[in-house]
Amino acid sequence: MSIIKKFSRTNIIWFAVGLLVVVANIVQQTIKFFGNGTSKVVYVLGLLLILVPFIEKLFKSKEKPAPIKLDILTATKLADAKLVEERELMKKTIEELQQQLSGRKTPKWKQHLRSLLQKGEIDQALESLDTDEADVDAAERHLAKARLYVLKLNFTDAAHEYVAATTIHSSYANNYEFANFHHKLNHLSLASEYYLRALSLASSPEEKASVLNDLARVQNEMGDYDKAQTSYNEALTMANELAERYPDKYYPFKATIYNNMGAMQRATGDMVGAMASYNKALKIRKRLAARDPENYNFDIAQTLYNLGNLQLQSMNFSEAEVSLSKALEIRRRLAEENPDYRSDLAHTLNSFGSVQRYTGDFAGAKASWDEAVDLWKNLAVENPQAYLPCLAMTYVNIAMYCQKDLHNIESAVQFALEAKRILSYCNPTPFVQQMFQKADRVLEQVEK
């Protein structure tokens, strides 16, 4: 049957006709051995009944997932909506650069750069930053070029400029910015390296606490949980001291550390510790949102999302549904206002789809996952290494749903294989390896 499945419908029809001709010939030869006419009729009807299930199997249609076109890996053109988003990003980045370039003692090259940016002449601005010097001023030029290349989604040239800037002037700020660049691109080893460089150059508790929190996030994502726990503990100790002096700034930072620590504890199986950390973060953030909901609703949604995933993992589906539905409501509104929040929305939809699946709302689960897939595809155009693993994650969820709930083996296999194909283009991070294992598990269970 595996060979027949590869035939076109027309070929299958011809195959069936040919089979019938052969069977008819066999019938004609065997009829001679039977007695009366009634026996002959019964014999022929019996043969036809045997063929009915076979023919039905040939023509039975099964749901097939739409094939994924991995032109997202090499895409050079974006849809009209994407261009609008890029214009907004460009406007924001240019405004930030202009603020950095303002001042009474601004060098001539910065004044010229500011003028070009005001006109929107990005390519000319890049050319104006060329230099053969190797001083602090030259490092600033390379840093400005790196930011402009990021704006143009040219991450390769941006990395070259960051290397030049940190080589010429290996400061805390330059290394920290380069580390953040690598972290956003999911280059975890390089992000860890440059966070450690920044940490060695930090000169204040504020700088050290900030780097330690981000370093811990990378260590957690790399699966180095002992180091992540140490970094989080150091960051939290500093944040507690700083919050006594600067409560408005560092109470929110404490909530961020608790939230991130909860994610690490959940990854290591410490559900009780994770629940405690998330609740501490949520308590602080609710208090902050009561005074300033516009600025802290995002943070509340983040903790609710993490809390919902923990409840989902603990099989507390009713509680998970409440937490994730609240997070989804906030994140959908934020994504409508600012496309930078699309990835948060996609993550929430992916998790909410799993809750809907476990509570029996299969139609709702499919709708949530379909929306998440559309978001991941668009995001992967900008940053494949960051978002292709997420796209594969949602396909793995759909594969498990097809296998266990729909009992649609063919679709389960296709989604699992598609997830593995996507993951083959990704850096082999622990998360990517985990998704590979889940996809393989689906395929192994199907074969049994």
Please answer whether residues 372 and 349 qualify as being in contact, where contact means their C-beta atoms are separated by less than 8 angstroms.
Answer: yes
Residue 344 and residue 378 in contact, taking contact as beta carbons nearer than 8 Å:
no
39 vs 110: CA distance, rounded Å: 100
Query: What was the pLDDT predicted at 53?
Result: 52
Sign of CA dihedral 15, 17, 21, 26: positive
Produce one character per residue of 299-309: b if its CB has 16 or more CB atoms within 10 Å, e if not. Answer: bbbbbbbbbbb
Residue 128: Cβ within 10 Å count: 18
Residues 259, 306 contacting (CB under 8 angstroms): yes
Query: What residue has token string 């934020």?
Result: 334
CB–CB of 264/252 below 8 Å? no
What region, left, alpha or beta, does residue 224 occupy, with left being phi > 0 and alpha being psi -120 to 50 degrees? Answer: beta
The torsion of the CA quartet 298, 302, 308, 313, rounded to 10 degrees, works out to 160
d(CA 172, CA 391): 35
Give the pLDDT of residue 105: 65
Check residue 21 and give its pLDDT: 56
Identify whether the C-beta of residue 328 lies closer than 8 Å to the C-beta of residue 349.
yes
Indicate the DSSP class of residue 121.
Answer: -
pLDDT tens track, the chain, 448 positions: 444 444 445 555 555 655 665 566 666 665 555 555 555 555 555 555 555 555 554 444 444 434 333 333 433 333 334 444 445 555 556 566 555 555 546 788 888 888 888 888 899 989 999 999 999 999 999 999 999 999 888 999 999 999 999 999 999 999 999 999 999 999 999 999 999 999 999 999 999 999 999 999 999 999 999 999 999 999 999 999 999 999 989 999 999 999 999 999 998 999 999 999 999 999 999 999 988 888 888 999 999 999 999 999 999 999 999 999 999 999 999 999 999 999 999 999 999 999 999 999 999 999 999 999 999 999 999 889 899 999 999 999 999 999 999 999 999 999 999 999 999 999 888 899 999 999 999 999 988 7
Q: Which residue has the tokens 């978002």?
A: 387
- The pLDDT score that the predictor gives to residue 205 is 95
The torsion of the CA quartet 198, 200, 206, 210, rounded to 10 degrees, works out to: 50
Q: Would you state the pLDDT for residue 141?
A: 94
CA–CA separation, 324 vs 359, rounded Å? 14
- Whether the CB-CB separation of 265 and 309 falls below 8 Å is answered with no
Counting Cα atoms < 13 Å in the Cβ hemisphere of 146 gives 22
Q: Where are the domains of the chain?
A: 4-59
Task: Identify the sign of the CA torsion 163, 164, 170, 171.
Answer: negative
Six token digits for residue 421: 């194909």
**Residue partners of 322: CB distance under 8 A and separation at least 6:** 308
Counting other chains too, the contacts that 56-62 makes at CB distance below 8 Å and 24 or more residues apart are 57/1, 58/4, 58/12, 58/15, 58/16, 59/9, 59/12, 62/408, 62/410, 62/411
Q: Can you tell me the distance from the alpha carbon of 332 to that of 341, in angstroms, rounded to the nearest whole number?
A: 8
- Dihedral, CA of residue 397, residue 398, residue 404 and residue 409, to nearest 10: -130
Largest pairwise CA distance in the chain: 114
d(CA 214, CA 184): 11
Q: Say what the pLDDT of residue 83 is.
A: 41
Report the alpha-carbon distance of residue 64 to residue 256 in Å, rounded. Answer: 42
> To which residue do tokens 């929190």 refer?
213
How high is the pLDDT of residue 112?
87
- Residues with Cβ < 8 Å from 259, sequence gap 6 or more? 277, 278, 281, 299, 302, 303, 306
pLDDT at 78: 35
> Within 10 Å of residue 212's Cβ, how many Cβ atoms?
24
Rounded to a whole number, what is the distance in angstroms from the first to the last CA of the chain?
Answer: 18
* Separation CA 447–CA 119 (nearest Å): 61
Percentages helix, strand, coil for the chain (3-state, rounded to 5) are 80, 0, 20
Question: Would you list the DSSP string of 56-98?
Answer: HHHH-----PPPP-GGGGT-----HHHHHHHHHHHHHHHHHHH
Helix (H, G, I), strand (E, B) or coil at 187: coil
* Buried/exposed 384-403: b ≥16 CB within 10 Å, e otherwise: bbbbbbbbbbbbbbbbbbbb
Query: Which tens digit of pLDDT belongs to each residue from 177-214?
Result: 999 999 999 999 999 999 999 999 999 999 999 999 99
Residue-averaged pLDDT of the chain: 84
Quickly count: other Cβ atoms within 10 Å of residue 290's Cβ: 9
